[in-house]
Structure formats: structure tokens, C-alpha cells
Structure 1
């Protein structure tokens, strides 16, 4: 039997915990816990391979899993244990990413990477959030801001579904193409 790909695994596990947490009114708490769990795996990139590898015995691995589970709700603790038992610890970040995608969809929250030539001040940041929320039909916009002076001015916004390029650099290139024709 072939091993399921990470996307399929993430979808199944995330859907299961999402539905359970939602039914029990624990969605927000579960989301917060899973974000913390993801951060543990991101901050410790050797953790998943260590749990999947042969360097440690089962008792040592279980002790590590127990440390990660410490203080977790039953849903998150059970997810971690199941992922460990079924040798899916290397899929934990993908599982949390998929859970977050579902959580964001339910809460009409959009993550956007915003590239500007200069750092945005609070007023412009809020204007951008409001404009994006209206344009994308979102209740909340989570901005990941980057500064890139090479765009000269304007803004480039990338979401999971689209890219909005209002940079001066792109406008100059468009004009140049029109002139060169």
C-alpha cells in the first residue's frame, strides 16, 4: 500500500480536528494551540525527523511527544498522539496549515503579502487593510509586510488566490511595452 501524500494527510487530519473542535465550541482555542504547535516544529526543524527516525527508541520519542502535548486540549493532544502513532509527525506543519486555511475561510480572513517601496505608516496600513477587505470580501486582513525599494512606489499585494500589482515599476514597464511596439 502506498503512503498518502502530505496534502491528502493534512486535509484529512485538519478536517477531522476542525469539525470536532467546531462542534464542541473549541475552534478558537484549538486554532491558537495548533499555531503554537506549528511554531514548535518550525523552531525545531530536527524534531519531526527525530520522531520519525531510528536514532531514538520508542520511549524517548513518546517522551518528546508528551512534552509537546503538555498543557494541550484533548483535541490537540489526541491529534499529536495520532500523528505520532501513525508516523505522521513530519506532516504536522502541513496539518496545521490546512487547519488554518479552514479557520481563515470560516472567519473570512485573508493573509496578504504586501510589498511597498517604503515602510507603511499605521494610517496607510489601515487604509490598505480596509480597501483589501472590501475588495476581497474579507472580514479581516492579515498583512505580511515587506519593503522592496526596487518597485519604486505603489504596492504589490499577493494573496493565496491573486496578485494585485500597483507598483510604479510595473506601470513603467507597461508604458515601455506600449511605446516599443
Structure 2
């Protein structure tokens, strides 16, 4: 039996490939993200759809609106297959893997900018441009988080990359130099 991550990677890869052949990757991604949001907003839905004691006809009636509202046949099929195999709890992982594949192919990078105060739109744009050039991305999606313990400056985090330009870190580095 496959572990959840391997299962999600295989299904997302297969779905990505067939949607790519149909030139429907972006449409499929939008639908998958909206379906994932339904599950995020209703955490008990996933539990109900994987509960073996919950009647099959009620499971089908719960998932039917999602299937009916989908315009992409392969997304509909994915939902039916996951429901039929009692694997609806894998859907959010599949969508995340699909989105990650999309981002990699389109060089889209998600990053967190941690600052003392919320960044202005101009500051965000400047950070996005600089980070885009630095990592060779086509697009950077920046999420600003506030941490008042930084004193000043910005920490930029993305996947395995961290650029720490915070005043707090600079002060700590000076302390280390003085104490050694």
C-alpha cells in the first residue's frame, strides 16, 4: 500500500500530464483549488467522505455538487475515483502536489516576508522584483507576516532559502563578534 505522499504525487502527476495534453492545466488548477477550499472550509466533509460507517449514497450526495460544478472531466473523474476508493482524504495533498508542479513549471515562487510592520504595496513590489531576479522566477507571490521582535528590517523565506536582513539578527551577530 502506498503512503499518502507517494499516492498524492502519482495522482497529481498523472492529472497534470493529461491536463497538459488537453491545454487545460490552468483551468484544472483553478477548479482543484476551489474544491480544496471547500474541504478547508468544511473539515468534517473529508471525515464524512472517508468514514466507512457513513452510507455510500450520502457520500455521493455530498460530493455530487462538486462533481456537477466541475467543467474539467478529468477533475470530475478524480473525485469519482477518490470517492469510490475511499481516498477523499488524499484530495488536499493531491491538489497541493498539483499546484507545486504548476509552480515549478511556470517558475512561480511563494515567499514569506517577515517584518516589524506591514509592508506597503511599494515595498512588497520592490521585494518581489528583487527576489524574482535573485532566484530566477517568473513570478513571486509574497505573503507579509508581522513580527515585532525583529526591531527592524525584513526576513524573506521561501522553501529552503532564507534572506535575513533583520536588525535583530544583525545585533546578535555583532554580539557574537564582540564576545568571541
Which of the five TM-score ranges fits, normalised by the shorter chain?
Answer: over 0.9
1:144 maps to: 143
- 2:133 corresponds to: 134
Aligned to 1:109: 108
Where does residue 180 of structure 1 map in the other structure? 179
- Which runs of 5 or more residues in structure 2 are unaligned? none
1:51-96 residue CA offsets vs partner (Å, 9 max, x unmatched): 1113420111011111221221211111111111122111111100
Query: Quick one: distance in 1 between partners of 2:27 and 2:11?
Result: 17
Q: Distance in 1 between matches of 2:78 and 2:91?
A: 9
Partner of 2:75: 76
SS of the equivalent of 2:112 reads strand
1:118, distance to aligned residue in structure 2 (A): 1.0
Partner of 1:163: 162
Q: 1:15 deviation in Å?
A: 0.3
Structure 1 residue 161: Cα displacement: 2.3
Within-5 A mapping of 1:6-21: 6-21=4-19
- Give the root-mean-square deviation of aligned CA atoms: 1.0
Residues 113-128 of structure 1 mapped to structure 2, 5 A cutoff = 113-128=112-127
CA distance in 2 between counterparts of 1:124 and 1:145 reads: 11
TM-score, normalised via structure 2 length: 0.96
In structure 2, distance between residues paired with 1:154 and 1:11: 38
Alpha-carbon separation, structure 2, partners of 1:175 and 1:81: 59
Could you say which residue in structure 1 is the equivalent of 2:84? 85
Moved over 3 A (4+): none
Match of 1:26 in 2: 24
Gapped runs of 5+ residues in structure 1? none
Count, aligned residues: 179
